Structure 1
Amino acid sequence: MARYRIIAVLGLAILVSACAAQVPTAVEQGADVPGFWWGLWHGFVFPFAWIGSLFNPEIAVYSVPNNGGWYDFGFFLGITVLGGGSAFSSKKRKK
């Protein structure tokens, strides 16, 4: 029974993710368009930018337009690796 539930949830997740698409105007190429390194930086400062965006509408947590996949990858790494990610919860606690 649990196997069918897992298969159903995974199938639903794949079905929903198939509907996702990136807006073509959000992806650009050029020297002044944020790429991997800016994505890494934006991911690292995400908690501070998010708090700032609550009080100032001119602060954004994600840069649009960007160069697409590389910016997204840098943003993901910035949040997970530089931002701590799950490393804090995975450390063994001393008794």
Structure 2
Amino acid sequence: MFRTSTTRCRRPAVALTAALVATLLLAGCAATSAAGPVADAPGFWLGVWQGMILPITFLVSLFSDQVAVYAVPNAGHLYDFGFVVGACVIPLPGTLLRGATSRRRAKARR
């Protein structure tokens, strides 16, 4: 009967939500390569190494189609975990050195 201003405001939100849900459902239909077990698939240790060289690999991959940042196919979760561990190792020395320098400066001020 009577339309309020909140009814008009809800319609775009409902339409946006419906569009988002439809997009997510259609994204699930995207074509992917079959992930089957591969005999010599990269595992944890290669994931650690490739995570550690990530900054250099990323820069090279910008200029070369022959270099990929991430190995596909891989051993699955172990490779993923190793990759993340390796990528986290990169900033660790700088963080530790910065902390040691900050502690020295704080001691010198006392």
Instruction: With the length of structure 2 as denominator, give the TM-score of the two structures.
Output: 0.54
Q: 1:41 aligns with which of 26, 39, 49?
A: 49
Where does 1:7-86 land on structure 2 (aligned, <5 Å)?
25=34, 27-81=35-89, 83-85=90-92
Larger CA Rg, structure 1 vs 2: 2
Q: Are the structure 2 counterparts of residues 66 and 54 from structure 1 closer, same or farther at C-alpha, using a change threshold of 3 Å?
A: same
Tell me by how many angstroms 1:86 deviates: 8.8
1:88 corresponds to 2:95 = yes
Could you tell me which runs of 5 or more consecutive residues in structure 2 were left unpaired when the two chains were aligned: 1-23, 106-110
Residue 55 of structure 2 aligns with an amino acid whose one-letter code is: P
Shift of 1:91: 1.6
| CA-based RMSD | 2.6
Normalised by the length of structure 1, the TM-score is 0.62
Residue 88 of structure 1 aligns with an amino acid whose one-letter code is T
Higher helix share: 2
Q: Does the residue aligned with 1:37 lie in a helix, a strand or coil?
A: helix
Measured after TM superposition, the shift of residue 63 of structure 1 is: 0.3
